[in-house]
Amino acid sequence: MMSGMSGSMAEGAMNVFNPNKSVIVDMIMIQLIAMTLTLLSVLLFNGNDIRSGDMAWMVGGLFGSFLFASAIYSRITSM
């Protein structure tokens, strides 16, 4: 076990550059939730001004983000 200032800095660097799997899964879930909320808010508040092609891409992205989030959530709950 390392001691002193250099030991704590080395341990901190190891924690930053080698995160646990749960931290990575949490970051992915946060990104998917942010993408879902962004697409949903754009569709709700700006839906009248969007062209149909752009609307189709946004609805597809919203569906994809729900699909990925539910797949990750089901994998988390099965652990």
Q: How far apart are CA 7 and CA 4, in angstroms?
A: 5
Give the domain extent around 55. 19-78
* pTM for the full predicted model: 0.65
* pLDDT score for 34: 92
Mean pLDDT by 10 residues, the chain (79 residues): 60 70 79 91 89 91 90 79
**Domain assignment of residue 12, yes or no:** no
* pLDDT score for 38: 92
**Tokens 């899964």, residue located:** 25
Q: What angle do CA 5, 9, 14 make, to 5 degrees?
A: 150
* pLDDT score for 21: 67
**Domain assignment of residue 36, yes or no:** yes
**Domain assignment of residue 8, yes or no:** no
How many independent structural domains does the chain possess? Answer: 1
